Amino acid sequence: MEEERVISLKGIIIGAVVDFVGSMVVGFMVSAIYAANCVSSGGLTGAAAAEALQQCLMGSFSFLITCFASGLFLTMIGGYVAATIAKASELLNAGCVGVLGLMFTIIGDLISMAKAPSPGWYMAAALILTLPAALLGGYLRQKSAPQL
């Protein structure tokens, strides 16, 4: 007998919130840590200081990789949460979190494109790996769930 596909709107929303809010919180923390290393006593203030900080952060490969990896990890956690709440069709529900994550990624990149564009590799990798990261969370939940 084929398993019925069940979409858990509650699971998807909570999983997406875990992904989005978690990514924002971790992103702010990582930015603050890296920004402290970028600050210099060059006497810059206002817009010039903000521009210098932005260039310092976007020019730091370790900053970009840390943000990217933590974002993918939280997408995986969001997929796991959605699959756990759904209790069925784990991959479908986790995949929905991944699709929402892709939408957040695209919208965020379009908004920041004028002020702080991310490198092309960053956006390409995000588009390629966001959905698989969410599906991995659903897969891990599926494999850890007791089989009935």
* 10 has pLDDT over 90: yes
At residue 96, φ and ψ (nearest 5 deg) are -65, -40
Structure tokens at 129: 């790996």
138 class by beta-carbon count within 10 Å (0-12 exposed, 13-18 middle, 19+ buried): buried
Q: What would the DSSP string read from start to end of 18-32?
A: HHHHHHHHHHHHHHH
Q: Determine the Cα–Cα distance for residues 95 and 133; give it in Å rounded to an integer.
A: 9
**pLDDT score for 63:** 92
At residue 14, φ and ψ (nearest 5 deg) are -65, -40
Contact (Cβ atoms closer than 8 angstroms) between residue 67 and residue 60? no
* 112 has pLDDT over 90: no
Amino acid identity for residue 9 in this structure: L
**Average pLDDT of the chain, as a whole number:** 88
Segment 87-112 shows an average pLDDT of 92
1 class by beta-carbon count within 10 Å (0-12 exposed, 13-18 middle, 19+ buried): exposed
Banded model confidence at residue 120, pLDDT cuts 50, 70, 90: confident
Measured between alpha carbons, how far is residue 3 from residues 56, 83, 90, 113 in Å? 51, 15, 11, 43
**Per-residue model confidence as pLDDT tens digits over 25-77:** 999 999 899 888 887 655 666 777 777 788 888 888 999 999 999 999 999 99
**pLDDT score for 1:** 42
**pLDDT score for 102:** 95
- Report which DSSP code applies to 9: H
